[in-house]
Structure 1
């Protein structure tokens, strides 16, 4: 399993556009109709910091998601928006969970 956390802060005038772009790629992710990944996005109290938490069953599904055109467009627009804080990417390891993340 691969777990990645990405945190970044957009400028206030880009918050709504960022949310729109997130919705677009999440709709495409949902169309994949697979149980091989979990992808959640949170906004922090300041309203402009976002945290993406992804769980991938394997490298294959991670590569597939990273190549979705709407996700690539989201990343490009986010990065070109002159972020307040550039993305920090953390790879994490699962210690425990209250449920099975992936059916084995």
Structure 2
């Protein structure tokens, strides 16, 4: 399994557009109807810092998800917005879970 956390901070004027772009790609991810990946998005208390946590069954599944057109658009818009802080990408090692979602 591949697990990744991405954290970034946007400018206040970009928050609503970022949320709209997130909702667009999450809707497309839901349409994929697969149990081969999970994708969660959080916003911290400051309202500007976003945290994306994703888990993928395989590299092929990760590539499929990350190449979804709405996700590519989200990334481009985010990166062109003039972020307050560049994305921090962290690979995570999965130790366990209370439920079994991805093998």
Bin of the TM-score, shorter chain as denominator length: over 0.9
TM-score (norm 1): 0.97
Q: Secondary structure at the match of 1:98?
A: coil
Counterpart residue number, 1:100: 100
TM-score (norm 2): 0.98
Counterpart residue number, 2:71: 71
Cα distance, 1:29 vs structure 2: 0.5
Separation in 2 of the partners of 1:69 and 1:62?
Answer: 14
CA-to-partner distance for each residue in 1:30-88, whole Å, 9 max, x for gaps? 11010000000000010010000000011111000111000000000000000000100
Cα distance, 1:96 vs structure 2: 1.6
RMSD over aligned Cα, in angstroms? Answer: 0.7
**Residues 1-80 of structure 1 mapped to structure 2, 5 A cutoff:** 1-80=1-80
Which runs of at least 4 in structure 1 moved beyond 2 Å after TM superposition? none
Count of residues paired in the alignment: 103
Cα distance, 1:101 vs structure 2: 2.2
Q: Secondary structure at the match of 2:65?
A: helix
Q: Secondary structure at the match of 2:83?
A: coil
Q: Secondary structure at the match of 2:73?
A: helix
